[in-house]
Chains A and B, each alone.
Chain A
Amino acid sequence: MLSVTAVKQREAFRLDVSFDSPAPGVVALFGPSGCGKTTIVNIIAGLLRPDRGRVALGETVLFDRDLKIDVPAEKRGIGYVFQDARLFPHMNVAANLRFAERRAARTRVIGFDRVVGMLGLQPLMTRRVHQLSGGEKQRVAIGRALLTQPRLMLLDEPLASLDRERREEVLPYLETLRDQLGLPMVYVSHRFDEVLRLATRIVLMQSGSALAQGGIGTISLDRRLRAMIGPDSVGAVVDGTVLGREPGGGLLRVRIGSGELQVNAASPSGATLRVQMLARDIIVATRKPEFLSVRNHLKGIVTAVEDDGASDLISIDVGGGGGDGSGPTILARITKAATRELAIAPAKPVWALVKSVALRGVTSAGFPGE
């Protein structure tokens, strides 16, 4: 469990933030550039001293101003992957990795060969740093951080300087890290799609403070997140359980709340599949739909109707309970006229027709969203 409270005044910018994250899992610091994400990560790493606050990892207090505790960065046992990789230019890849391995303070948990194998570094070992592509540099930087045998990994926008193709090259390695090592991670990003694939929790940041924090499902419904990512990206993110394959059609049956969706994916039964249903891709019906080509629909109860500019945003609890908002909730965007004519209001039972489902990764280890 990582818990962070920090206040840091820097000229016009003030950071005042507090959050914690149950380990293992990935907590994402998400927010626009300049909101203080990197400052927090530097405070956790010990590269920056907050004016006030406390940083603790499990039972170990790393910083506490009141107790006058400030463990130096080199003794914190925290792996840090920087946005710009920061590999040592006067060493080759192998020497960069050995540099970290030799200085690991804790007993070895992750061996050298395992790191090299997991990140596919073998062909790069004798290369100089300037002979590496951006994606390769980040893979080496991740490996180097892992070899310090960290108790926590900090990843500060490790994919930001990469183009789309390179991002897709590195992302699976990060998923492997999360699923195979069970290492707690703090992942900084201003890209929501990365956060969706990796994070188990989100801390929503803006101008130096944490607006909201919680599981992906909860935060995906938060109006402050909606304001950040824009109307077309708004949609509920739900972790479903794979039930098995449809006998004839070959689609995968995934349990969402009390209902079921069929998606085109390949995952073993019992795996947790994270899906995103964009609000603009949901159609709301007040009667059970028939004679339609849309196959996926979930029964639920309206929990909220929010004014969202030109249209309304409807929250629907699809958990199968009494509609108290305790079950998984999805969002649908409908016109104001539709709200009026269908008399959509809280407590009304509805059917949500899902036109498309976007897969946002598989967490076979099954970290719960909350």
Chain B
Amino acid sequence: MIWLSPDESEALHLSLSVALRSLVISVPAALIVAWILTRRRFLGHTLLDVVVHLPLVLPPVAVGYGLLLLFGARGPIGGWLKSALGIQLIFTRNGAALATAVMSFPLMVRAIRISLESIDRGLEDAARTLGAGAIDRLATITVPLMLPGLLAGVITAFSAALGEFGAVITFVSNIPGETRTLPLALYSALQEPGGEHAAARLAMLSVILGIGGLSVAEWFARRVRRMLGR
């Protein structure tokens, strides 16, 4: 991108890369959790619901600190990942993606839950009486009906992921070219004397990305409404 400085384009590229990687982690997990919360009744249902929503109400720094304790070099999971698989999460963009995924998880679960709950279960019953088995129903009725809502949720979560700051800087620090995403670059610029101009440009970039993301999400939401004739 010619109108961006190399540092800016690096931060933008990193932000997109981290946000995309976070989706790889959060979408499958959120699908499973949302499915369980919507379709299953079990002991501990409320507890799971609370745990899923924790990142929404905790200070992001606390979430980052928690990740540090679990996934740090000497943490129970981090230590095992390092020794068994050679994977290091702290100070890497994959670590940034994990922190971002955890922070945007509640948003994603909520979006998927809403789209799942909006599906009339009677339609699945109707499909059954027409001869459609469980996998057939999932593929032809449930997923197509929830897909637009799911995509809208994913795009909203992605837009939010681009801006994740507290958990990322706590867990993976602020390393140029590795973990310095847009918000971290913006923060760094403000720390430097005379960095206001650079900060303003980065803030502007964030605004444009945010508006773009929300517009696409709204377009999907409208498509759903039109499809269902509402």
Contacts and interface: CB of A to CB of B under 8 A. Distances in A.
B214 interface: no
If over half of B's interface residues share one DSSP class (helix, strand or loop), that class is named, otherwise mixed; here it is helix
A47 B129 contact: yes
B132 A86 contact: no
B145 interface: yes
A23 interface: no
B126 A89 contact: no
Interface residues of B, number: 21
Interface string B124-143: 01111111110010001100
Interface string A72-93: 1111111110101010111000
A89 B145 contact: yes
B116 to A, nearest CB: 15
Given A99-B140, A128-B229, A130-B229, A88 B129 contact: no
B229 A90 contact: no
Interface stretch (A100-108, A181-189, A195-203): A100-108
> Interface size for chain A: under 10, 10 to 19, 20 to 34, or 35 or more residues?
20 to 34
Contact of A99 (B125, B128, B130, B145): B130
Nearest to B140: A99
Given A89-B229, A90-B144, A90-B145, A74 B126 contact: no
A148 interface: yes
A84 B122 contact: yes
Nearest to A80: B129
A269 interface: no
Contacts of A104: 131
A159 interface: no
Contact of A82 (B126, B132, B140, B141): B126
Nearest to A75: B131
Given A80-B126, A86-B120, A86-B122, A100 B228 contact: no
Interface of B: 120, 122-123, 125-133, 136, 140-141, 144-145, 227-230
